[in-house]
Structure 1
Amino acid sequence: MSISETASLSPRALWTGRVLSAVIVLFMVFDGVIKLPPLDVVTQTMVPLGWPADANVARMLGVIGLISTALYALPRTSVPGAILLTAYLGGAIATNMRVGSPLLSHTLFGVYLGIILWGGLYLRDPRVRALIPFSR
Structure 2
Amino acid sequence: MNASKLLVIAGWVITVAVIAFMLRDISPDLQQAPWAVKANASLGVPGNVVLAIGILGLVSTLVYALPQTSTLGAILLTGFLGGAIVIHLRVNGGIFDMGENALVGVLAWGGLWLRAPRLRAVLPIRRRQPTAMAGS
Q: Could you say whether these structures have the same fold, taking a TM-score greater than 0.5 normalized by the shorter chain as the test? A: yes
* Partner Cα separation in structure 2 for residue 26 and residue 130 of structure 1: 27
* Partner Cα separation in structure 2 for residue 32 and residue 83 of structure 1: 18
State the partner residue of 2:25: 31
State the partner residue of 2:46: 52
What is the total number of aligned residue pairs between the two structures?
A: 126
Map residues 80-91 of structure 1 onto 2, 5 A cutoff: 80-91=72-83
State the partner residue of 1:109: 100
TM-score, normalised to structure 1, is: 0.87
Map residues 58-97 of structure 1 onto 2, 5 A cutoff: 58-97=50-89
CA distances 1:90-111 after superposition (whole Å, capped 9, x unpaired): 00000000000122x1122211
The counterpart of 1:128, out of the listed 119, 127, 135, is 119
Cα offset, 1:9, TM superposition: 4.6
Which runs of no fewer than 5 residues in structure 2 stay unpaired?
128-136
Q: Structure 2 counterpart of 1:78, which letter?
A: S
Cα offset, 1:22, TM superposition: 0.3
State the partner residue of 1:3: none
Cα offset, 1:83, TM superposition: 0.1
Q: Structure 2 counterpart of 1:61, which letter?
A: I
TM-score, normalised to structure 2, is: 0.87
Q: Structure 1 counterpart of 2:29, which letter?
A: K
State the partner residue of 1:4: none
Q: Which structure is richer in relative contact order (CA contacts within 8 A, separation 6 or more)?
A: 1
Which runs of no fewer than 5 residues in structure 1 stay unpaired?
1-7
Q: Structure 2 counterpart of 1:75, which letter?
A: P
Q: Structure 1 counterpart of 2:109, which letter?
A: W
Cα offset, 1:135, TM superposition: 1.8
* Partner Cα separation in structure 2 for residue 100 and residue 78 of structure 1: 32
- Structure 1 residues 83 and 9: CA distance shift in structure 2, 3 A: farther
Q: Structure 1 counterpart of 2:66, which letter?
A: L
Cα offset, 1:53, TM superposition: 2.6
